[in-house]
Amino acid sequence: MSNSALSADREFAFSEDNFRFLTQWVGKNTGIVLADHKRDMVYSRLARRLRALQLDSFAAYCALIQSPEGEAELGNLVNAITTNLTHFFREGHHFEHLLQVLQGIAAKPNSLKKLRLWSAGCSTGMEAYSIAMTLQEALPNINQWDVKILATDIDTNVLETGQRGEYALSALEDVPAAYQKKYLEPVKAGASKGQVNEATRALVSFKRLNLLESWPMQGKFDVIFCRNVVIYFDKPTQRKMFGRMAELMQPKGWLYIGHSENLFNICDAFTLEGRTIYRKNT
């Protein structure tokens, strides 16, 4: 494909060289693989940044990224490219299974009453709060437990949304009716948004984390949700990432992955226990 072909009928000149530079930068810095069929997506998402910066071409944007002055733009580039499709209680069978797992832990007379859970690639926080609601449902005496949910994402914009815990009323409709009464703030008349209640928000800590970089977590997790994240990574990156997750998990800990993902020939530290549900072997 010629350099001019990518620029035809577009607001901004967008050459093959521009596309290659951007995809290589994204791959190196985030692990996300952007194949050729993602050209239109890359253009449409970054065209917004060109408008905001008042640039007239992708060549100018690429030059900015490589300059010292462009350091402040790097976070915006990552935020623009990252896909954040999510909703409350997505893949409902995961939360049904998690509820059973947590109820089983709570029923053990010798339980340490300590739980650590991680929502990796948490997006706007809907997954993390779905976990938090499930936790509260499973542990009626949750105040007697040492419970923490870590929610991480590379996109700072979605983390800000998660911290506020405010969502459009249409999004909150995915929360089961019984949970809405328990774990959401009452909706004010005429409001377009609702909010997760304070007790539920307090269970979740939102942190920025690039999965390709160092992980600061020290303790072991009982449960990790890493769903629809690795589909953007190549196989070597997937192997490394799931290997690191296995090292951070308690023996017999639980891992939930996306509906189109699997660990076959990726990581042998887990055994498949259900539909996209894995358990650490030891």
Annotated catalytic residue, options 90, 153, 201, 227: 153
- What whole-number distance in Å separates Cα of residue 251 and Cα of residue 258? 22
- What whole-number distance in Å separates Cα of residue 265 and Cα of residue 172? 38
- What whole-number distance in Å separates Cα of residue 205 and Cα of residue 125? 10
- What whole-number distance in Å separates Cα of residue 144 and Cα of residue 164? 25
Q: Which residues lie closer than 8 Å to 245 by C-beta, 6 or more apart?
A: 120, 224, 226, 255
Q: Is 153 a catalytic residue?
A: yes
Annotated catalytic residue, options 45, 49, 164, 239: 45
User: What is the 3-state secondary structure of 99-122?
Assistant: HHHHHHHHHCCCCCCEEEEEEECC
Report the catalytic residues: 45, 153
